[in-house]
Amino acid sequence: MDGPSGSGKSSTSRGVARKFGFDYLDTGAMYRAMAWAVLEAGLLDAGPEAITDAVREARLVIERDPDHPRVLINDHDVTEAIRDPRVSQSVSVVATVPAVREILIARQQAEIADCAGGIVVEGRDITTVVAPDADVRVLLVADPEARVARRQAELSGVDRAAVTDQVLRRDRDDATVAEFETAADGVTVVDSTFLDLPQVIDLVSDLVTAARDRKA
């Protein structure tokens, strides 16, 4: 599942994973974890090569339980820390380094290959680069105003202007290295603007069930 910030990718993906007993992989959390590591090392402004070296050396553990998707970097549990505004403001600097994307895409594909059962993977270029042969590929979209409102509801105490910048700037920055605004051939577009979460989960779940029926 791909989509812009605030479209509901994470909540929908976790809901679908729970419904079918699948694993869940938040690839955005992987980029955030690496941004946290780069920030902790004081290397955010050190240039692409230094950032890539830091990412390559970082020990990342990402747990695929949709109810407890923990993220650890260098033995530190950063599940909560990577949602800090400081990381949100910096993650695109790390995520737009091509070598970093190569490293993490390879890791994402390894996580998928390691999954014995089904897995729901969400991020920016999942349907086109990470898992173009997935049984179900979805682009989840929503109106910008709805996306900003949802993200602000998640980030208590952060003013709307900061949230708007965080959501729309990240989309703009990430769009330079990943295609997540236009559906590729075979990708189903789901617009969540006027839908609640259970409705979106049901729509995506119907796609999963249909794909299972076709393979039966």
**Longest CA–CA separation in the chain, Å:** 52
CA-closest candidate to residue 138, choices 93, 94, 97, 186: 186
φ/ψ of residue 29, rounded to 5: -65, -30
The pLDDT tens digits for 170-197 are 777 777 777 677 888 999 999 999 999 9
The shares of helix, strand and coil residues in the chain, as percent rounded to the nearest 5, are 55, 10, 35
CA angle, 212 as apex, 189 and 3 as ends, to 5°? 25
**Is residue 30 pLDDT above 90, yes or no?**
yes
Confidence (pLDDT) at 152: 78
**Is residue 156 pLDDT above 70, yes or no?**
no
Confidence (pLDDT) at 157: 67
Q: Please give the class, per CATH, of domain 9-215.
A: alpha beta
Model pTM?
A: 0.89
**Is residue 46 pLDDT above 70, yes or no?**
yes
Each domain of the chain, given as residue ranges in start order, spans: 9-215
CA-closest candidate to residue 88, choices 181, 163, 153, 1: 163
Would you say 167 and 151 are in contact if contact means Cβ atoms under 8 Å apart? yes
Average pLDDT over residues 5-23: 94
Average pLDDT over residues 67-91: 93
CA-closest candidate to residue 121, choices 177, 204, 194, 185: 204
Average pLDDT over residues 102-122: 95
CA-closest candidate to residue 36, choices 17, 22, 55: 55
